[in-house]
Amino acid sequence: MSDTSKRIYIFDTTLRDGEQSPGVSLNVEEKLKIARQLARLGVDVIEAGFPIASPGDFEAVRAIAREVEGPVIAGLARISERDIDRAWEALQEAKRPRIHVFIATSDIHLKYKLRMTREEVLAAVRKGVARAKSYCRDVEFSPEDASRSDIDFMCQVLAAAIESGATVLNIPDTVGYATPAEFGHLIAEIRRRVPGIDRVQISVHCHNDLGLAVANSLAAIENGALQVEGAINGIGERAGNTALEELVMALYTRRDYYGCHTGIVTEEIYRTSRLVSSLTGMPVQYNKAIVGKNAFAHEAGIHQDGVLKERTTYEIMNPAMIGLVQNNIVLGKHSGRHALRTRLEELGFKLNEAELDKAFARFKELADRKKDITDRDLEAIVEHEIKQIPEKFVLEHIHISTGNRVVPTATIGLRVGEELMEEAACGEGPVDAAFKAIDKITRIPVCLKSYALNAVTGGKDAVGEVTVKVEYAGRVFIGRGISTDVLEASARAYLNAINKVVYEIGEENLQVLEA
């Protein structure tokens, strides 16, 4: 990389803004798993959550601060003392903590949401940033709804934040309103007008309501921003955030134009995308840039011919750059434990002996049904079934009777401790029948909110990947299951969600139905 190349810092908010996506609910272990992968990916900052939002968010931020090393660990806080104190309580064990404070500066937010005057906002910024600084050397300040704020007032607020000790000024396009030219101009004006701006790092946080988040972030970089905030797969509230994988690969692929580089280990991009998609239950659209299923697929004959002759005719990026590496080793039912361990390590999975034993058992079970086991099959086994929570209910067997002229009926056998429990139920369809039979055994009154089925790979023997979302006591729990039998995959996903309810709520706190 040229010495003149500018370093762009990557601030990942998958665990904070990303988790605010409708229907997404991650437990502490899942957040830790994502945070560790983000550290492997090489992000500079992990915004671990909003500590005051809930006890669960607080515990997740504290666990990540305690256990994840490498990136800066940030916690979000409103400008109030209570928020800032709670953020520091969660972050204080981090080796590199950052408190991220915010308050809105647009007149529409001041009038209708905050019901504060500009003078009151200025005073709150001075007091809040100073309080955060008293705890933490690294303080980030964001003027919410910056792109719709009066620029003169916002520059006053930014100057006050610098005077009070802010080290990073983040400029959010909170509602995705700006266009690239406007947003680039805004960053240039801030650099020109705000006293002391050369002492801090300028960051941007763009939303994708008009599909412009990545374009706006790139325009900001062209005008002097050094940090970009976003989420893996572009997840987040409403239409989501800047997709970090798109931004990073745009900077890499067009480094001749932007003259910038990041510290991202690009070979970890695909795996990170898959992990986030799996744990959040948010599938990646097929034509999604960089990480979509079709991103490197070529169907048109002229394209296929060109790529076979010279990859760069129709590919501006090498799939290997994001971790999509094709392997010629075929795993099947005769493959041994060592071959499986080697391939998993090549895919980036480090399993202990107990986890490898479980993976090998599921691999053999799958290999009896499927001739060739692909990398995606292996990824699905590890992501869905190996690194999981303790299971109170374990699927032993499932029998389904269904057809267009019979009432669908399911018989389910679950192992609960040392006891095998069986129940049968009828339903409107085979999946409904299976879920009702499971409900009879578990007696936990969950409500199914969503069900999604995807094929992990192609072909008649494809592995089915089922994701369900269930609600219990006002909380949403995501379950996942895989199998070449979609009914078995459905039962496994539903049980996974119920086991999460038991694990997170605690058996002693569960309200169960009478037998």
Phi, psi at 455, each rounded to 5°? -90, 125
The widest CA-to-CA distance across the chain, in whole angstroms, is 77
Question: What's residue 294's pLDDT?
Answer: 81
Question: What's residue 402's pLDDT?
Answer: 93
**Cα(268)–Cα(278) distance, rounded to whole angstroms?**
15
Domains 6-280 and 393-508 share a fold: no
Q: What residue spans define the domains of the chain?
A: 6-280, 337-386, 393-508
442-491 pLDDT, tens digit each: 999 999 999 999 887 666 667 888 999 999 998 889 998 888 899 999 99
Question: What's residue 299's pLDDT?
Answer: 46
Question: What's residue 305's pLDDT?
Answer: 54
Supply the CATH classification number for the domain 6-280: 3.20.20.70
Contact 496, 299 (CB under 8 A): no
> Mind giving me the DSSP string for 436-498?
HHHHHHH----EEEEEEEEESS-STTPPEEEEEEEEETTEEEEEEEEESSHHHHHHHHHHHHH
Contact 321, 332 (CB under 8 A): no
Selection from 370, 358, 384, 382 nearest residue 481 by Cα:
384
Question: What's residue 337's pLDDT?
Answer: 82
Selection from 497, 493, 488 nearest residue 445 by Cα:
497
**Cα(34)–Cα(306) distance, rounded to whole angstroms?**
38
Question: What's residue 304's pLDDT?
Answer: 46
Question: What's residue 309's pLDDT?
Answer: 63
Geometric angle at alpha carbon 447, from 443 and 451, rounded to 5°: 120
**Cα(124)–Cα(160) distance, rounded to whole angstroms?**
10
**Cα(427)–Cα(463) distance, rounded to whole angstroms?**
24
Residue type present at position 117: T
Residues of the chain with pLDDT under 70: 1-4, 297-314, 325-330, 371, 384-388, 457-461, 515
Selection from 174, 164, 230, 172 nearest residue 200 by Cα:
164
Residue type present at position 311: R
Question: What's residue 297's pLDDT?
Answer: 66
The residues, ordered by sequence, that sit 6+ positions from 192 with a Cβ below 8 Å of its Cβ are none
> Mind giving me the DSSP string for 58-89?
HHHHHHHHHH--SSEEEEEEESSHHHHHHHHH
Pick the CATH number of 393-508 from 3.40.50.720, 3.40.50.2000, 3.30.160.270, 1.10.3720.10: 3.30.160.270
| Bridge partner list, 74 | 47, 98
Phi, psi at 201, each rounded to 5°? -95, 135
